[in-house]
Amino acid sequence: MTRHARRRFLTYLVAAPSLAVATKIGLDAYAPGNADAAIPTPPAPADLVDLGDLLILAGKPTANMLVLSVNEDGDVHFRLPREEVGQGLTTAVAMLVAEELDTPLDRVHIQLDDARPELLLNQLTGSSNSIRSLYDPVRHTAAAARARMVGAAADRWGLKARELTVRAGVVVASDGRTASYGSLSAAAASLEPVALTVTPKKESEHILVGTPTSRIDARALVTGKHAYTLDLDVPGAKPCMVRRPPTVNGTVKAVNNESAVRAMPGVLDVVTLDTGVAVVAETFGQALDAKEALDVTWGPGTVDALSDDDIRARLKAATPSLDVLGVLVKKVEAEFDFAFASHAPMETNSAVADVRADRAEIWSGLKSPIAAQAAIAKAVGLPVSEVTVHVVQSGGSFGRRLFHDAALEAAVVSKKSGRAVRLMWSRIDDMRHGRMRPATHHRVRATYAAGQVLTFQHQVAAVETDFRHGLGDAVTAAAADLPTGIGNATFAQTLFLTTVKSPYNFGVTTQALTEVPLKMHTGSWRSVYSANTRGAEEIVVDELAAKLGKDPVAFRRAFLKTARQRAVLDKVAAAGDWGRSLPGGWAQGVGFHEEYKSCTACLVEIDATDPKKPRVTKAVIAADVGRVINPRGLEAQLLGGLTDAISTTLRAGLHIDRGLPLEGSYSQFHYARQKDSPRDVKIFVIEGADEPGGAGELGVPAAVGAVANAYARATGTRPRSFPVNFDVDFTPFPR
Amino acid sequence: MPSHTFSVNGETVTVDAPDDLPLLWALRDLLGVRGPKYGCGIDVCKACTSHLDGEAVRPCVVPVSEAAGREVTTIEGLADGDRLHPVQEAWLEQDVAQCGYCQPGQIMAAVALLKRTRNPTDADIDEIANVCRCGTYFRIREAIKSAADRMA
Ligand code: FES
Ligand code: FES
């Protein structure tokens, strides 16, 4: 019996004229997932209980309000306490609902929930956790609604519920009578009993779930109809942009030409903030001109003296040295550097705010809306209950929208200016003053003898990651009660230990994180520590294989722990024709990663004939994420992870120069374009058993390893610093 | 304030704006046409890509005065009522969009490419410089090829 099969849910009827049900998640005892028992490497904390479990656990007591309603027209509405940023979550949830209700997918409408403070820890989108935490409760909620519909029809016809079936949202009796959900909804709303326990369909009976399905919002997205935050029509909301300091966290000392700027065409207001000087205008074009025209005296920032070299030196100095070894011990050793990386979502940081004397309304793409609501209420001096925070589907995140800085700025400007505003960050500001993945330094060593790996040590030093966005509370609160000994660790340590683990039987394995606190705008970036940490390890794995005279795929096969892991590796090796001969300057590379109860392998081919202009020409990816809701969506996530890996491994990073990133646009932060992307990509989803694992971040680390390894083999080099091509090949924008 | 008259998606419009106001803001802020997206404002990301007299341009760097008397087509003007353009159909078929923010620009760039060449090669597709931060490039490539087939 699987763990989730033991979970119990109580579904409640919500008082409403047509059917509405809400599911409360039961407080059943928590049973940790299976650790791999028969392995020589003792299980790391991540084997016992990973981050996803902690979030589910933490969310449980308050996850009692998943609300589903069926209107009298038969349309199903589900309020989702999560954020959609392009990861396809609304589609996956709609599929689960449609499946359980036996109703067509296009009748299911997903609405992103406003901030609901009563949900406490359970309204946070991150850590690849959404499907993992929602899979069971969503299915129970929809199954309960179906049961009530069938019950209402049975009542109406004087038949037994079990004599009825449902087809496409219509209850059908064996004698041919039919009743649509719409026609039953009012009756279903008034039935006794109020609470009921239902069992969702067996997974073997799923028809829609598990079938490749297109995004429910695809049409709106390709016609330009989808409204992002700044496309919303909020009456009277005026464009607003902020002039920001010349260094990170610089302060405003004086605005020297405020009246001249106020007199510029279209300018409506100038407002000084903690983070800069805001201009409100009739158009964004005018707001941009006016904020550029501002003459501001700035106070110092928090890292003004720091540049890349200093940061790298500090990280290196902070990385603990590895154990002293005897001279005869055979080993592979390597040190790696990874640069800062911008989240750089296509839609820059943005928010709409309408703050009045007695209430406020905010619209923004927020993955942690409860934290945003609390901060805004405090900043504008209103009770939380008077601050409505709407979560808007947004143009990418990659971790960025865990922070609510734009929403907070918009709220303060709106209050001070006495009007509604639409606040937008410029791209330059988004890259320079936005969030970034912290730079890291790595020291890795493996020792071996007689064809066996005896020890594997990895010390990571990272610029401190800012987790002050709500996730910290959820996990540390739950972790404190766990028997794994991580309860007292700092949050970053907790996250590192619960996400990073080695999938190989490498004997005594240690992985540890040291953080270097620098007051910069960092944040978790898709796959948090794993992209760099596991990426670096995959490079060492290739070098170990070479030392032992083994082929990289054969070597991994021999040291991976489970058949499930080997299956994804075998798949890419076969489908990618591993070992085929390639021209000089070309090579294949392979990488493997396991996280959030999912695993994946990636094989790429690279053309590095010009080592300064390498191109990944082909990629083959296989993934087993356990139960798959939407294979098409999963493939999209893996494709995105691949592109992230190609970008950050080969060319995309931020240079820090005297307290500010130099990069200010995509012409400088070299995220891949079409010409950098493979023309041939094959992705295989291996249907796994049991509950769904995480998928949104999984793809990055394996692809980092594959791309770096391919580059190394094609060029005959040992890349140690990423991105490998990282010249300042541009003239930075003025500060 | 100078006034500028041009056509947007087949409708004649007049806006009062300084000559040098970028067309992107005339469209988005003065006319409420919000399909074209801001991603950089300097002709780098190409998220705002729209058509001026049938050719792909970046309205973030086209002054509104330059549009006077000409035809602007944005993503909203591509479909014929409910009938999508074959490129949009191909985008649905390949399920290209993730966050979708770059896709109006990607689609407008693809339509312009297919106008120039009916059977674009991989090298032609590589020339499309529009950024997709979600990394959907391979699906975009497949969709352009599928659209070329549909339009053959
Ligand atoms: S906004 Fe026009 S090219 Fe980026
Ligand atoms: S789909 Fe998100 S940027 Fe392209």
Percent above pLDDT 90 for chain A: 71
What's the gap in Å between A615 CA and the centre of ligand 1? 25
**Which chain A residues are closer than 8 Å to B84 by Cβ?**
219, 222-223
- Mean pLDDT is lowest, of A12-26, A35-49, A451-465, A634-648, for A35-49
What's the gap in Å between A48 CA and the centre of ligand 2? 36
Average pLDDT, chain A: 88
Q: Is the pLDDT of residue A15 over 90?
A: no
Strand order in the sheet with B11-16: B11-16, B3-8, B71-73, B50-52, B55-57
Nearest CB to B134: which of A86, A228, A666?
A86
Record the tokens describing residue A318, joined without a space: 């902070």
Q: Is the pLDDT of residue A535 over 80?
A: yes
Homologous superfamily, domain B3-77: Beta-grasp domain (3.10.20.30)
**Which of B107, B133, B138 gets mutated to test ligand 2 (max ligand atoms within 8 A of its CB)?**
B133
Nearest CB to B98: which of A86, A227, A344?
A86
Give the pLDDT score at A213: 97
* CA of A612 vs chain B CAs: smallest distance (Å): 18
- Could you give the CA distance from residue A397 to residue B101 in angstroms, rounded to a whole number? 11
Q: Which residues of A496-530 are buried (b: 16+ CB within 10 A; e: fewer)?
A: bbbbbbbbbbbbebebebbbbebebbbbbbbbbbb
Q: Is the pLDDT of residue A302 over 80?
A: yes
- Could you give the CA distance from residue A645 to residue A409 in angstroms, rounded to a whole number? 32
Contact flag B136-A639 (C-beta cutoff 8 Å): yes
Nearest-5° angle of CA B126, CA B128, CA B129?
A: 105
Q: Which of A595, A592, A582, A508 is nearest to A555 (CA)?
A: A592
Contact flag A87-B98 (C-beta cutoff 8 Å): yes
Give the pLDDT score at A103: 97
Contact flag B99-A671 (C-beta cutoff 8 Å): no
What is each CA distance from A116 to A181, A368, A373, A412, B35, in whole angstroms?
Answer: 29, 10, 9, 21, 31
Give the pLDDT score at A196: 63
- Could you give the CA distance from residue A137 to residue B2 in angstroms, rounded to a whole number? 59
- Could you give the CA distance from residue A35 to residue A231 in angstroms, rounded to a whole number? 48
Give the pLDDT score at A697: 84
Per-domain boundaries in chain B: 3-77, 86-151
Contact flag A215-B136 (C-beta cutoff 8 Å): no
A581 exposure class (CB count in 10 Å sphere: 0-12, 13-18, 19+): exposed
Sketch out chain A's domains with CATH numbers: 4-200 (3.30.365.10), 229-299+349-424 (3.30.365.10), 436-722 (3.30.365.10)
Which amino acid is located at A443 in the chain?
R
Contact flag B29-A239 (C-beta cutoff 8 Å): yes
Q: For residue B30, give the chain A residue with the closest CA.
A: A283
Average pLDDT over residues B27-34: 97
What confidence tier does A51 reach under pLDDT thresholds 50, 70, 90? Answer: very low
Where is A313: in which H helix or E strand? helix A308-318
Interface probe with A: pick from B29, B85, B96, B126, most Cβ of A within 10 Å = B29
Contact flag B135-A641 (C-beta cutoff 8 Å): yes
Contact flag A427-B39 (C-beta cutoff 8 Å): yes
Nearest CB to A424: which of B26, B38, B133?
B38
Give the pLDDT score at A680: 98
Q: Which residues of A598-637 are buried (b: 16+ CB within 10 A; e: fewer)?
A: bbbbbbbbbbbeeeeebbbbbbbbbbbbbbbbbbbbbbbb
SS (H, E, C) A236-277: CCEEEEEECCCCCCCEEEEECCHHHHHCCCCEEEEEECCCCE
Where is A373: in which H helix or E strand? helix A369-380
Contact flag A644-B95 (C-beta cutoff 8 Å): no
Residues with beta carbon inside 6 Å of ligand 2? A 86, 346, 396; B 97-103, 132-134, 136
* CA of B21 vs chain A CAs: smallest distance (Å): 6
Nearest CB to A346: which of B21, B127, B133?
B133
Give the pLDDT score at A312: 96
Give the pLDDT score at A29: 24
Q: Is the pLDDT of residue A118 over 80?
A: no
- Could you give the CA distance from residue A119 to residue A121 in angstroms, rounded to a whole number? 6
Q: Kindly give the number of the ligand 2 atom that is closest to the alpha carbon of B106.
A: 4
- Could you give the CA distance from residue B109 to residue B140 in angstroms, rounded to a whole number? 11
Provide the Cα torsion A301, A303, A309, A311; round to 10°.
Answer: -150
What confidence tier does A126 reach under pLDDT thresholds 50, 70, 90? Answer: low
Give residues with Cβ within 8 angstroms of A399, minimum separation 6. A126, A343, A435, A437, A523, A524, A525, A526, A528
Encode pLDDT of A542-564 as tens digits.
Answer: 999 999 999 999 999 999 999 99
Strand order in the sheet with A195-196: A108-112, A76-80, A66-70, A20-25, A9-13, A195-196
* CA of B50 vs chain A CAs: smallest distance (Å): 12
Give the pLDDT score at A488: 45
Give the pLDDT score at A122: 65
Encode pLDDT of B41-61 as tens digits.
Answer: 999 999 999 999 999 999 999
Contact flag A640-B135 (C-beta cutoff 8 Å): yes
Flag whether residue A617 sits within 8 Å of chain B, measured between CB atoms. Answer: no
What confidence tier does A429 reach under pLDDT thresholds 50, 70, 90? Answer: very high
**Which chain B residues are closer than 8 Å to A283 by Cβ?**
17, 21, 25-26, 29-30
- Note which residues in 402-461 of chain A have CB less than 8 A from chain B: 424, 426-427
What's the gap in Å between B115 CA and the centre of ligand 2? 23
Task: Answer yes or no: are the C-beta atoms of A568 and A513 closer than 8 Å.
Answer: no
Q: Which of A644, A517, A655 is nearest to A86 (CA)?
A: A644
Q: Which of A580, A593, A585 is nearest to A615 (CA)?
A: A585
Query: For the whole model, what pTM was predicted?
Result: 0.93
Q: Is the pLDDT of residue A654 over 50?
A: yes
Task: Answer yes or no: are the C-beta atoms of B83 and A705 closer than 8 Å.
Answer: no
- Could you give the CA distance from residue A666 to residue A673 in angstroms, rounded to a whole number? 10
**Which chain A residues are closer than 8 Å to B136 by Cβ?**
636, 639-640, 643
Q: For residue B94, give the chain A residue with the closest CA.
A: A214
Give the pLDDT score at A114: 86
Encode pLDDT of A196-233 as tens digits.
Answer: 667 889 989 999 999 999 999 999 999 999 999 999 99
Higher pLDDT, B39 or A11: B39
Average pLDDT over residues A167-187: 95
**Which chain A residues are closer than 8 Å to B102 by Cβ?**
346, 395
What's the gap in Å between B56 CA and the centre of ligand 2? 19
Nearest CB to B103: which of A221, A284, A644?
A221
Q: Is the pLDDT of residue A34 over 70?
A: no
Flag whether residue A256 sits within 8 Å of chain B, measured between CB atoms. Answer: no
Nearest CB to B135: which of A214, A230, A639?
A639
Q: Is the pLDDT of residue B115 over 80?
A: yes
What's the gap in Å between A427 CA and the centre of ligand 1? 10
Encode pLDDT of A497-519 as tens digits.
Answer: 777 788 999 999 999 999 999 99
Q: Kindly give the number of the ligand 1 atom that is closest to the alpha carbon of B59.
A: 2
Q: Kindly give the number of the ligand 2 atom that is closest to the alpha carbon of B99.
A: 2
Average pLDDT over residues A478-505: 65
CATH class of the domain comprising B86-151: mainly alpha
